[in-house]
Amino acid sequence: MNTFPSSTFFSSPPDWGWLIALYFFFGGLAGGSYFLASLIDLFGRSEDRPLSHLGYYIAFPCVVVSGLLLTLDLGRPLRFWHMLIESNTYRPMLKYWSPMSIGSWALMIFGIFAFVSFLGALADAERIPWPAWRKVHPPSLLGRFIAMIGGIFGFYVAGYTGVLLAVTNRPIWSDTPLLGLLFIVSAASTSAALMILLAKKSSWTMPGLLDLHRMDAWVVALEFIVLIALIISLGPVARAWLNAWGLLLLIGVIGIGMLLPLLLYWRGGKGGVHDMTTTAALVLVGGLILRLVIVFSAQGV
Amino acid sequence: MAEPMGFYTDTTVCIGCKACEVACKEWNQLPSTNGGLNTLSGDSYDNTRRLDGIHWRHVKFIEQFTEDRKDGRWLLMSDVCKHCVHAACLEVCPTGAIVRTEFDTVVIQSDACNGCRDCISACPFGVIETNPVSGIAQKCTLCYDRLQSGMEPACSKACPTQSIQFGTISDLRNRAQKRVEQLHQAGEKRAYLYGADEKMLGGLNSFYLLVDKPEVYGLPPDPKMPTRNLASASWFSVLGAVLVGLMGVINFRNRGARLEDREEQP
């Protein structure tokens, strides 16, 4: 008789597939981009304001896509509102100890912040003729407040998905407490990468872009450390990755998504060509593969 | 509230007739096959294979034979939802669709469930799955509708050997304990009860008499609640947010300050 490394090996996979893996990716981009935008707004220079606008432009569409992906994944999509309102009593439905319950609320509240900041950024950039909306954008006091609270909700949306996976009984997911940490760090690295890619596409040269690039390298290095710590924390369960998924994790996530970008960054810093676009593209691809490996590998066990 | 009700399943007297499976399907109007798809398991006499959205009872056939097949035994076990006192599915259900009834059983309300499937990944026993017809998570209700009318569940009613027994939990535990003692006296020292006390998830309202390790029956030796990870995972996530936040502040603020310093220098 086989011995099982953990009691989690007797549960059933929930069949969370592509829609959920993509949600984890886009939800991370939404939360991370908003967080970075608010960080640039609160601590950056005025020349970098287009970069913060870009973060808000990314966050809102990504949060809309996230909501759609989640709704489509439901067995009964028209009942999506049951997450927020108890269908029998029409009272608010909230279980603070259930990450999916509190995450649904967080996603909705973050969606409102993302929408307001999206309009604020458009007004601030004078892309829409509604100057009144500039009040919800930093540097106004209200704008700073919105950016700060929205940034916290953004990070919540980016990270709760990892906690949600930990609060199950599936192998890998519930055998480590580090998935939320990994998803938050990965959300920051992929968001910075996407912002760099889009900024470079518009041939922007503001100094904040270099800051973002440097920060991305730091965050990718942190992400690498967290992933190694996660694998160690799995203990004997890590054997569940001795298959094609583990290989994809090693090559796609660690190799292409972490070590190669770090090497490119390091070479760039040593006087080589600073290929920000390639570095960012690799980080983004690595982040997507990470979500796929985490979501699919634990269900094939 | 009525007294807690449940099942005691004595696996030593199960003959693998699957009457429980059939009775369950008949009463609960579950389809016999999955959309016309009926796959043979190729594994013993078990073609149900596992509990899922349209199989709320599953008779497991465990063959323990020597290589030359001269010696061996069958372990038969009718598996079902454990109706845990501390139920993992109920704990995580974000819609409130999963409730505890007045009989201390755990039921998914089919009009409230939206098919998010969080309960599927939470259940440590792998009991719940999506019903492909309804699109929602479904499992044994311990025949809640029959209980409300004072009837016993369909499976235990149909069981011809009293392997599945229905009753109040206190009565079932007494019966089960006597049976274990009887088996021990008869020389079957391996007999023990699985989930009959509070140590396992507060007690399983559907518990078992087994004669081998739980893993042999596909049961977790040490099932746990999913929220065991909630605090640690949350704090680690907060740590991640703080670290990334610090990296952001240092990168954006320091560089800005340095540039300003440089500009200020004559």
What sign does the dihedral B112-B113-B116-B117 (CA atoms) show? positive
ipTM: 0.95
What are the sequence ranges of the domains in chain B? 5-224, 228-264
Which chain B residues have a beta carbon less than 8 Å from that of A210? 255
> What's the token pair of residue A194?
């996407």
- If one counts every other C-beta atom within 10 angstroms of the C-beta of residue A135, the result is 14
Give the pLDDT of residue B258. 46
Asked whether residue A273 carries a pLDDT value surpassing 60, the answer given is no
Q: Are A295 and B121 in contact (CB under 8 A)?
A: no
In 3D space, the residue among B232, B206, B227 whose CA is nearest the CA of residue B51 turns out to be B206
Asked whether residue A86 carries a pLDDT value surpassing 60, the answer given is yes
In 3D space, the residue among A59, A57, A3, A1 whose CA is nearest the CA of residue A27 turns out to be A59
In 3D space, the residue among B135, B98, B92 whose CA is nearest the CA of residue B114 turns out to be B135
User: Is A185 in Cβ contact with B240 (below 8 Å)?
Assistant: yes
User: Is A39 in Cβ contact with B96 (below 8 Å)?
Assistant: no
In 3D space, the residue among B100, B69, B65, B105 whose CA is nearest the CA of residue B206 turns out to be B105
What pLDDT band is residue A270 in, cutting at 50, 70 and 90?
low
Give the pLDDT of residue B261. 46
CATH for A13-216 is: 1.20.1630.10
Neighbour-count burial of B97, counting CB atoms closer than 10 A to its CB (0-12 exposed, 13-18 middle, 19+ buried): buried
- Please write the tens of the pLDDT for every residue from A234-254: 999 999 999 999 999 999 999
Q: Are A113 and A34 in contact (CB under 8 A)?
A: yes
Residues whose CB is less than 8 angstroms from the CB of residue B174 and which lie 6 or more positions away in sequence, other chains included: none
CA distances from B233 to A98, A173, A293, B96 (A): 13, 11, 19, 23
- Please write the tens of the pLDDT for every residue from A38-74: 999 998 888 899 999 999 999 999 999 999 999 999 9
* Cα–Cα distance measured from residue A59 to residue A39, given in angstroms and rounded to the nearest whole number: 14
Beta bridge partners of B74: B63
Give the pLDDT of residue B266. 41
Which chain A residues have a beta carbon less than 8 Å from that of B263? none
CA distances from A59 to A35, A139, A189, A287, B187 (A): 9, 19, 14, 17, 68
What pLDDT band is residue B254 in, cutting at 50, 70 and 90?
low
Instruction: Name the CATH architecture for the domain at B5-224.
Output: 2-Layer Sandwich (3.30)
* Cα–Cα distance measured from residue B4 to residue B196, given in angstroms and rounded to the nearest whole number: 13
In our burial notation (b when 16+ CB lie closer than 10 A, e otherwise), range B60-85 reads bbbeeeeeeeeeeeebbbbbbbbbbb
- If one counts every other C-beta atom within 10 angstroms of the C-beta of residue A108, the result is 15
What sign does the dihedral B136-B139-B141-B146 (CA atoms) show? positive
Which phi and psi (to 5°) does residue B204 adopt? -95, 125
What are the sequence ranges of the domains in chain A? 13-216
* Cα–Cα distance measured from residue A117 to residue A134, given in angstroms and rounded to the nearest whole number: 9
Q: Which of B115, B137, B239 sits opposite A181 (nearest CB)?
A: B239
* Cα–Cα distance measured from residue B47 to residue A266, given in angstroms and rounded to the nearest whole number: 58
* Cα–Cα distance measured from residue A111 to residue A158, given in angstroms and rounded to the nearest whole number: 13
Cβ under 8 Å to B: A residues 211-230? 211-212, 214-215, 218-219, 222, 226
How many cross-chain Cβ pairs, A to B, lie less than 8 Å apart? 232
DSSP letters, A171-238, are: TTGGG-S-HHHHHHHHHHHHHHHHHHHHHHHTT---HHHHHHHHHHHHHHHHHHHHHHHHHHHHGGGG
